[in-house]
Amino acid sequence: MGQRKKVGAVKTSSSENDTGEASKVSPKHNICMVSDFFYPNMGGVESHIYQLSQCLIEKGHKVVIATHAYGRRKGVRYLTNGLKVYYLPLQVMYNQSTATTCFHSLPLLRCVFVRERITVVHAHSSFSAMAHDALFHAKTMGLNTVFTDHSLFGFADVSSVLTNKLLTVSLCDTNHIVCVSYTSKENTVLRAALNPEIVSVIPNAVDPTDFTPDPSQRPTDRITIVVISRLVYRKGIDLLGGIIPELCLKHPDLHFLIGGEGPKRIVLEEVREKYQLHDRVRLLGALEHKDVRGVLVQGHIFLNTSLTEAFCMAIVEGASCGLQVVSTRVGGIPEVLPEDLITLCEPTVSSLCKGLEKVIAKQRSGSFPSPNSTHARVKNLYTWRNVAERTEKVYDRVAGEEVLPLEKRLWRLRSHCGPVAGSIFAFVAVLDFLFLLLLQWLVPDRHMDFAVDATGPNGLWVKKRQKSEPGC
């Protein structure tokens, strides 16, 4: 990561035309993923972007990622397989999300889109201001746009009313939207008042090779419940604080293994203190992604107490390691695993305890299938290759669609987002267009060097790799 690469000895003439011989099979796209959230920040969106990009590169597309600068990590970096990342110097405002003025990011994003000859802009996460900015500018520049929503939102409070309005504005002329579960699709369609036909459901994926079972790691004299999540309110840690004493009093051989960090850690520590459970409830603190498997394989049961969740990768990871999953029935969780691999409960202490007791009883009687057979079932459910294939189809569809010209876009904004917000953002769209004209006058496209492709049909790294060996 962060390795600088020399791009000197290149055949610039060959990289000039981007529709090479590969266009016969299926069109190759030049994709720019934009999100505020990318490595070195850690999280679900970050790994989604990385894994999806890697698999798209493997399929022969050109992928670059644009994010904001993280500390001293600014400029251009190359990751594995020539995945090019632009860390643009934009001001971070809150929670790793950039400030938005609708305009200031245009010069740099335009530069990225032009020099990389981008055809599809794929923005991620509705929390990312940079993603919305990029969608806005891409439409101004006449590029096709795709948006992936990773989160669920309510409708009741003031903040969600405002963010939903912004989402409506941002998505009303976006070509295609991707959601990670059917519940998330319903949510996004309602929030942004979209036509459901332009919303695809493509679930997240888990790398099954990272999450293999290892029954030898399980202690035989006790039953261990594993919880891996950030310790915050939305993950239902308060419920966990009620479950622990309830079950520990009934089952003296029950142990809890809790990975993750957050403000609700104090709740768990208080419970542990009050009921003297120091030897039975272990708080492991923040875990790195590579250590997660090592914790998972030590347990018998995986518990998820989330209060809201669009997809929940954690339960798939748990099931992939051969654990029995107990989870709350919220958001998209009921869609994720088949009924015999998961026990769904209501988000109450009593319901979760009942569900856990049932699973504990079955575990004692040994009536569960072996971890390896569970792993074999789960490992092919969600793969990144499948995600990339389905995303590719979205790109193919989007590439054939027209990008609304300015007057139609203004009309769409006015008719779709209400008279007030629609008019304001139509005005902003006009300003953005004028700003683009100014930039095109100051630095014409022909004065910008096309970047040397690292990935895609003429990618230098791809050719280099083809010589050695292929792999994702």
Partner 1 sequence: MGPDGVPSQSVPWRKVLWERQPFPDNYVDQRFLEELRRNEGIRQYRYWAVVKEAGFVGQQLSCVAIFITLWLYMEQGLLSPETLLWTSLSCALPGYGLYQVLTAQTESCSESRTHLADSQSAVLFLSFTFGFSPVLKTLTESVSTDTVYAMSALMLLAHLLSFPYAHPSPPGSLSLNAALFASVCLASRLPGALHTFAMLTCALLVFALWPCLLQRLRENAPGHFTGACVGVCVGGVGGLGSQSPGGAMLLSLALVSVTLICPLLLVSLQRHKDNIQGPWDEAEIQEDLSRFLH
Partner 2 sequence: MEDESFCNISGKPISLDCQSHSSFCREFTVSTPKISIGKVMVYTCSVWLFAYTVFFFTQNTAVLSSAILITLVGMMLHIHFVKVDHESLLVIGSLGIQVSSSYASGREVTTFIEMSKIKDIVINEAVYLHQIIYYLCVLLRDPSEPHGVSSVVTLFQSSKPRLNCLVKIYKSCQEILSTCK
Contact flag: residue 337 with partner 1 (CB under 8 A): yes
Q: Which of partner 1, partner 2, none is residue 451 near (CB under 5 to 8 Å by kind)?
A: partner 2
Query: Which member of 27, 107, 245, 418 binds partner 1 (CB under 8 A)?
Result: 245
Q: Which is nearer to partner 1, 235 or 409 (CB)?
A: 235
Please tell me whether residue 291 adopts helix, strand or coil conformation.
helix
Residue 434 CB, nearest distance to partner 2 (Å)? 16
Which residues make beta-bridge pairs with 228? 259
Residue 154 CB, nearest distance to partner 1 (Å)? 5
**Site track for partner 1 across 349-378, x = CB under 8 A:** xx----------------------------
Report residue 73 as tokens: 């990590």
Q: What is d(CA 362, CA 374) in angstroms, rounded to the nearest whole number?
A: 15
Find the helix packing angle between 371-378 and 313-320, rounded to 10°. 130
Q: Which of partner 1, partner 2, none is residue 307 near (CB under 5 to 8 Å by kind)?
A: partner 1
**Contacts of partner 2 in 447-466 (CB under 8 A):** 447-452
Residue 177: how many other CB atoms lie within 10 Å: 24
Q: What is d(CA 37, CA 56) in angstroms, rounded to the nearest whole number?
A: 19
Contact flag: residue 427 with partner 1 (CB under 8 A): no
Query: Which member of 186, 207, 214, 357 binds partner 1 (CB under 8 A)?
Result: 186
**Contacts of partner 1 in 248-307 (CB under 8 A):** 267, 270-271, 274, 307
Contact flag: residue 115 with partner 2 (CB under 8 A): yes
Residue 7 CB, nearest distance to partner 2 (Å)? 6
**Contacts of partner 1 in 380-409 (CB under 8 A):** 381-382, 389-390, 392-394, 396-397
Q: Which of partner 1, partner 2, none is residue 86 near (CB under 5 to 8 Å by kind)?
A: partner 2
The burial class, CB within 10 Å (0-12 / 13-18 / 19+), for 155 is exposed
Q: How many residues bind partner 2 (CB under 8 A)?
A: 27
HSE toward the beta carbon, residue 250, CA cutoff 13 A: 12
Q: Which is nearer to partner 1, 233 or 427 (CB)?
A: 233
Please choose, out of 179-187, 274-282, 293-301, 438-446, the segment that lies near partner 2 by the rule CB under 8 A: 438-446
Beta carbons of 299 and 215 less than 8 angstroms apart: no
Q: What is d(CA 244, CA 224) in angstroms, rounded to the nearest whole number?
A: 12
Residue 99: how many other CB atoms lie within 10 Å: 15
Residue 181 CB, nearest distance to partner 1 (Å)? 6
State the Cα angle at 117 between 111 and 122, rounded to 5°: 85
Q: Which of partner 1, partner 2, none is residue 331 near (CB under 5 to 8 Å by kind)?
A: partner 1
Beta carbons of 105 and 15 less than 8 angstroms apart: no
Q: Which of partner 2, partner 1, none is residue 440 near (CB under 5 to 8 Å by kind)?
A: none
Query: Which member of 20, 27, 43, 107 binds partner 2 (CB under 8 A)?
Result: 107
Residue 427: how many other CB atoms lie within 10 Å: 12
HSE toward the beta carbon, residue 224, CA cutoff 13 A: 23
Please choose, out of 174-182, 213-221, 336-344, 446-454, the segment that lies near partner 2 by the rule CB under 8 A: 446-454
Total residue count of the chain as it appears in this document: 472
Give the single-character DSSP code of 73: B
Which residues make beta-bridge pairs with 33? 65, 122
Which residues neighbour 59 within 8 Å (Cβ) at sequence distance 6 or greater? Answer: 388, 389, 392
**Contacts of partner 2 in 3-42 (CB under 8 A):** 4, 6-10, 12
Please choose, out of 112-120, 239-247, 414-422, 429-437, the segment that lies near partner 1 by the rule CB under 8 A: 239-247
Q: Which of partner 2, partner 1, none is residue 332 near (CB under 5 to 8 Å by kind)?
A: partner 1
Q: Which is nearer to partner 2, 114 or 171 (CB)?
A: 114
User: Cα 235 from chain centroid?
Assistant: 17
State the Cα angle at 256 between 273 and 316, rounded to 5°: 140
Q: Which of partner 1, partner 2, none is residue 274 near (CB under 5 to 8 Å by kind)?
A: partner 1
Residue 91 CB, nearest distance to partner 2 (Å)? 14
Buried b / exposed e over 210-223, threshold 16 CB at 10 Å, is ebbbbeeebeeeeb
Give the single-character DSSP code of 297: T
Q: What is d(CA 60, CA 458) in angstroms, rounded to the nearest whole number?
A: 9
Report residue 317 as tokens: 């990871």
Report residue 385 as tokens: 């290759």
Instruction: Name the site residues for partner 2 (rule: CB under 8 A).
Output: 4, 6-10, 12, 74-76, 86, 88-89, 107-108, 111-112, 115, 443-444, 446-452
Binding site residues, partner 1, CB under 8 A: 152-156, 176, 181-184, 186-187, 189-190, 196-203, 234, 236, 238-239, 241-242, 245-246, 267, 270-271, 274, 307-308, 310-311, 328, 330-332, 334-338, 347-350, 381-382, 389-390, 392-394, 396-397
